[in-house]
Amino acid sequence: MRETAASTAPRVPARSVSRPVVRHATRPVIRPVIRPVIRTAASAALALVLALPLAGCRLTDEDDVLPAGACAGQQVTGIDEDTIRVGGIYPLSGPASAYGLIASGARAYFGHVNEEGGVDGRKIEFVVRDDGYQPARAVEEARRLVELEEVFAIFQTVGTPSTAAVRDYADRRRVPQVFAATGASRWGTDREHPWTIGYQPSYVAEARVYAQYLKETLPAATVAVLYQNDDFGRDLRDGFADAVRGSGVRIVAEQSYEVTDPGVQGQVANLAASGADVLLSVTTPKFGAQALAVDAAVTSWNPLHIINSVAVAPAVMASVDTGKVREIVSAVYQKDAADPEQADDPAVAAYRGSLRRYAPEADPAAQQAMFGWTAAQAFVQALRRMECPTREGLREAVRRLDDVPVDTLMPGITLSTGPDDGFPIESMMLARFAEGRWASFGDVIDTRAAFGPVRTAGSSG
Amino acid sequence: MSGVDVAGRTGHRRLAVGQVAGDRRRAWPWPRVTLTALAAAACLVPFLLEPYRVFQLTMVLVHGIALLGLNLLVGHGGRVSLGHGAFLAVGAYGSAIMTTSLGVPYPLTLPVCALVTFGAGLALGRPALRLSGPYLAVVTFAVAVVVPLVIKRFGAVTGGSMGLSTPVPVAPSWTGLADDQWLYLLVLAVAVGAFAVARNLVESRAGRALAAGRENPAAAEVLGVRLDSHRTLAFGWSAMYAGVAGTLYAWVVGFVSPDSFTVTLSVVLLAAVVVGGPGSLLGPLLGGAFITFVPAVAQRAGDALPGIVSGVLIVVVVCFAPTGLAGLLRMAAGAVTRRTGRG
């Protein structure tokens, strides 16, 4: 500190006092200061003028395009005869780092595919970057993946904010941003960003599943809704309200909370006063657990407790006192590796084996790892269906999926998209939580067939 | 009037005030050659490197501008602000909202945001700088905490927690530049301007008054320095630098969200000033490089490492090089000078 202080701080008392006025001392100092600045500016300008002829050219190569053939002019960056380079952006650190397990699941599946010879002879190289669940960092990492690592496609961004942030960049650079891990309905309805597509059932589709279930089993049900006051919460709530409109199922009470709130005890207590038959809990894990705890504690109110799939985590369900909550229902679409009944399923066995081998740090029972595995499988299916091995080819392929089976999805659920339909999965099954595990019941509910396509995104637009 | 022709006496055009005051440290003997070489390198870089590297360097400059402002306050004024992330947010959101909702062309957003943040800095600096030490830290900290929440609250304008996508400046066709090159040169021009202004400011009467206030407030006041107004102005200037950096950030990244301007950012900025070298002009640039490159490099080593590596590096620098990276460079320069017998 001593040195720095001396450089800028004149020992004011000693010398300045002897000189009558400070102002005079400054003048000669300022002038020599300005001159080098002018000089710098001049040399900078000169350098710029000299450099301008270089403009547009640089020593590194531009994007590769196919020169001839049916696919001429299409981009082949990151793909050649032997490899496909794929980039993923996951929250490996930060508040949502639990979703980092998705990367482990995906890595395991790519390892599994490479071992079996790759995709049409091409091995997949999977480059994972961390965005800490911050959208601006996601953009930076996307740039890194596309411009430095030169990936073929961005397979997965996690979370609605990060996906929205990367979407414009992907569109500008014409890079496929495939199977983003978020349920917002806007990816499917957005025509302005053809390079971006979602994967899991949208929140609207999930809301429709619950609505359909209630219409069939409790046609005159009254529903109390607890929702998170953000895009996710409103997307699902609005979807539910739309889906029950015109039926006997009515929403009689609504309470929202902010992600920053400490708890939802007050909100659930208010909902209890409505005496509704059903509690629809549109929450994230922490708040979902709290809502379950309050429901268990309030003995005078015993609604059917519907908890959305986002909130379902092993830790949440482990804390539930099942004896005190009447019935807990949620929606599922992929197989549950923690379910002993599915332990013999060959697809689940392959998943467990590869995960142990390629991502030993990940717990096979975690939903997120299974999610990553399943999404990676969907991605490989899309790669196999490319007509041209180009970025444009992949963009077309993900929008032309036709009942593509994926073995870790629930039986009867397949991937389907079309030019106007950007939602790969729109069917789900209901599951009931009993004896410490989820058991699916009933048939697959195809929301596309029951409700028609999702036309508009929720209120968030 | 007489007797201050120090430039003539020592044979150096560039004269640190400290040398008048008895600073006997050796100065770098080739300032002009070095500056010219640096300027040439800075201009050539976008034509030599990959787009991503150019982007990284652009981010170094953006962070450097913000740190330059904070350094005015922390390094020269001796006051701590934990709230500069908030001014960055104001600059970034100001630019984003102006370009998206109001359709203002992007070059216009820079002066507007600079003025707005300057005003905000003055308004906040006036009452806040009467406080000192921990009280000032708490007040500025509160600003840093509140601003992201306010942004989330007014979602209709700001896009809420989802953030806002903003159009990225496109290179005019007559330049023939790629967009990232254009953006880099744009930011470089602003940074050169910012450095020139900061340098003049620091070495002017106001700068010395600020430093005098830091070293010995009582003596400075006795000499007739109005500390309050100088400090308020310094706060305004530093807020303006942060606002300008925020605007450039919005241009470069093309996306703003409340999560980019959390309290953590304010703390990181403060740490970067210390690491770079408080009170030096080169420090902010080194600090900017620190913010940009250390997490990126550390992530190569492991997923959860960036936080740990940055933390450990900050501790190491503070323990072993209290004058920061700029101080280390200065020592190295001094060693070279001694070795060559110049200076």
- Here the CATH number for the domain that contains residue A161 is 3.40.50.2300
On whether both A208 and A323 belong to a single domain, the answer is yes
Residue B14 reports pLDDT greater than 60 = no
Q: Is A459 left (phi over 0), alpha (psi -120 to 50) or beta?
A: alpha
Q: Which of A32, A60, A164 sits opposite B13 (nearest CB)?
A: A32
On whether both A316 and A349 belong to a single domain, the answer is no
Three-state SS at A364:
coil
On whether both A211 and A197 belong to a single domain, the answer is no
pLDDT for A197: 94
Residue B189 Cα distances to A40, A349, B18, B34, B61, angstroms: 11, 59, 29, 18, 10
Which chain A residues touch B303 with a CB distance below 8 Å? Answer: 92-93, 100, 130
Per-residue confidence at B5, pLDDT binned at 50, 70, 90?
very low
What is the Cα–Cα distance from A143 to A149, expressed in whole angstroms?
Answer: 9
What is the Cα–Cα distance from B30 to A34, expressed in whole angstroms?
Answer: 18
Average pLDDT, chain B: 85
pLDDT for A195: 94
Instruction: Answer whether residue A3 is part of any domain.
Output: no
Chosen for mutation from A2, A7, A39, A48 (greatest number of chain B CBs closer than 10 Å) is A7
Phi/psi at A249 (5° precision)? -75, 125
On whether both A127 and A233 belong to a single domain, the answer is no
Q: Which of B36, B212, B254 sits opposite A43 (nearest CB)?
A: B36
Q: Which of A6, A51, A136 sits opposite B47 (nearest CB)?
A: A51
Closest chain B C-alpha to A312 CA, distance in angstroms = 23
pLDDT for A49: 63
Instruction: Answer whether residue A12 is part of any domain.
Output: no
Which residue is associated with the tokens 């302005």?
Answer: A192
Domain span including residue A255:
204-332+428-451
Which chain A residue has its CA at the smallest distance from B21's CA? A10
Which chain A residues touch B176 with a CB distance below 8 Å? Answer: 52, 55-56
Closest chain A C-alpha to B307 CA, distance in angstroms = 9
- DSSP annotation of B68 reads H
On whether both A296 and A214 belong to a single domain, the answer is yes
What is the Cα–Cα distance from A209 to A413, expressed in whole angstroms?
Answer: 14
Q: Which of A8, A41, A230 sits opposite B202 (nearest CB)?
A: A8
* Number of folded domains that form chain A: 2
On whether both A194 and A279 belong to a single domain, the answer is no
Q: What percent of chain B has pLDDT over 90?
A: 37
What is the Cα–Cα distance from B323 to B316, expressed in whole angstroms?
Answer: 12
Residues 65-94 of B with CB under 8 A from A: 75-76
On whether both A299 and A432 belong to a single domain, the answer is yes
What is the Cα–Cα distance from B234 to B207, expressed in whole angstroms?
Answer: 9
Which chain A residues touch B192 with a CB distance below 8 Å? Answer: 40-41, 44
- Predicted interface score ipTM higher than 0.90: no
pLDDT for A238: 93
On whether both A237 and A264 belong to a single domain, the answer is yes
Instruction: Answer whether residue A54 is part of any domain.
Output: no
Closest chain B C-alpha to A460 CA, distance in angstroms = 9
Q: Which of A36, A136, A144 sits opposite B260 (nearest CB)?
A: A136
Q: Digits of tens for pLDDT over chain A (461 positions)?
A: 344 444 444 444 444 444 444 444 444 444 455 566 666 667 666 666 665 555 555 655 556 888 878 888 899 999 999 999 999 999 888 777 888 899 999 999 999 999 999 999 999 999 999 888 888 889 989 999 998 899 999 999 998 888 988 998 999 899 999 999 988 888 888 888 899 999 999 999 999 999 999 999 999 999 999 999 888 899 899 999 999 998 999 999 999 998 778 889 999 999 999 999 999 999 988 899 999 999 999 889 999 999 999 888 777 888 888 788 889 999 999 998 888 888 889 999 999 999 999 999 888 888 889 999 999 999 999 999 999 999 999 999 999 999 999 999 999 999 999 888 889 999 999 999 988 888 889 899 998 888 887 765 443 33
pLDDT tens readout for residues B57-70: 999 999 999 999 99
Instruction: Answer whether residue A4 is part of any domain.
Output: no
Give yes or no for a contact between A88 and A153, defined as CB atoms under 8 angstroms apart. no
pLDDT for A420: 81
Residue A199 Cα distances to A190, A398, A427, angstroms: 14, 10, 12
Section B96-101 average pLDDT: 93
Contact criterion met (CB < 8 Å) for B212 and A10: yes
pLDDT for A28: 45
Helices (H), chain B: 6-10, 17-20, 31-48, 51-71, 84-100, 106-128, 133-153, 155-158, 179-202, 205-215, 217-222, 227-253, 263-276, 283-301, 305-320, 324-340
- The more confident residue out of B297 and A100 is A100
Instruction: Answer whether residue A18 is part of any domain.
Output: no
Q: Which of A25, A56, A133 sits opposite B177 (nearest CB)?
A: A56
What is the Cα–Cα distance from A176 to A393, expressed in whole angstroms?
Answer: 10
Contact criterion met (CB < 8 Å) for A13 and B211: no
Which chain B residue has its CA at the smallest distance from A148's CA? B52
Instruction: Answer whether residue A7 is part of any domain.
Output: no
On whether both A186 and A324 belong to a single domain, the answer is no
On whether both A117 and A129 belong to a single domain, the answer is yes
pLDDT for B303: 58
For chain B, domain boundaries? 46-261
- The more confident residue out of B246 and B5 is B246
- DSSP annotation of A52 reads G
Instruction: Answer whether residue A377 is part of any domain.
Output: yes
Instruction: Answer whether residue A14 is part of any domain.
Output: no
pLDDT for B3: 38
Residue B125 reports pLDDT greater than 70 = yes
User: What pTM was estimated for this model as a whole?
Assistant: 0.81
Closest chain B C-alpha to A99 CA, distance in angstroms = 13
Q: Which of A30-44, B96-110, B125-139, B165-179 has the highest mean pLDDT?
A: B96-110
Residue B226 reports pLDDT greater than 50 = yes
Does B323 touch chain A if contact means CB atoms closer than 8 Å? Answer: yes
Which chain A residues touch B59 with a CB distance below 8 Å? Answer: 140
Which chain A residues touch B200 with a CB distance below 8 Å? Answer: 30, 33-34, 37
